[in-house]
Amino acid sequence: MRTNEERINAMHMRAEALAEADQNRKVRMIQAAAYSLSLVLLITLASFMPGIMGTIDWDTAMWQMTGSIFSGSAALGYIVIAVIAFLLGVSITIFCFKLKERQSKKDEETSP
């Protein structure tokens, strides 16, 4: 037979387990939404790329091709690519930091 204190502890442990399961479900849903959004963005950009490449005059603009796929001028194209790369790097850094923070919190909870 359990004492009242044991029942209360078991109830708190069950509540924590339910809260953790709910949190894990939310994280999985956010990850699935992020993956889906990334895939849609990739497909959308890929579908517009042939049209963008078709507007380029290959005879006069061959030296500008690396950065000019997003704009008519080479400098603006490089700026857009740099901003996109910076934002991608920042988002990956934040994601990794949050993941490490969450893992260390989980390790602290499981350690005696």
Query: Mean pLDDT per segment of 10 residues, for the chain of length 112 residues?
Result: 88 92 90 87 81 67 55 65 85 88 83 66
Are 18 and 26 in contact by the 8 Å Cβ rule? The answer is: no
Shared domain for 65 and 77, answered yes or no, is yes
| Range(s) of the domain holding residue 83 | 57-112
Shared domain for 92 and 41, answered yes or no, is no
- Name the domain boundary from 16, 35, 55: 55
Are 45 and 53 in contact by the 8 Å Cβ rule? The answer is: no
Shared domain for 70 and 109, answered yes or no, is yes
pLDDT at residue 106, as a whole number: 82
Q: What pTM does this model have?
A: 0.47
Shared domain for 7 and 37, answered yes or no, is yes
DSSP state of 3: -
The secondary structure of 56-95 as a DSSP string is: S-TTT-GGGTTTTTSSSSHHHHHHHHHHHHHHHHHHHHHH
Shared domain for 26 and 73, answered yes or no, is no
pLDDT at residue 26, as a whole number: 92
For 102, the token pair is 């969450």
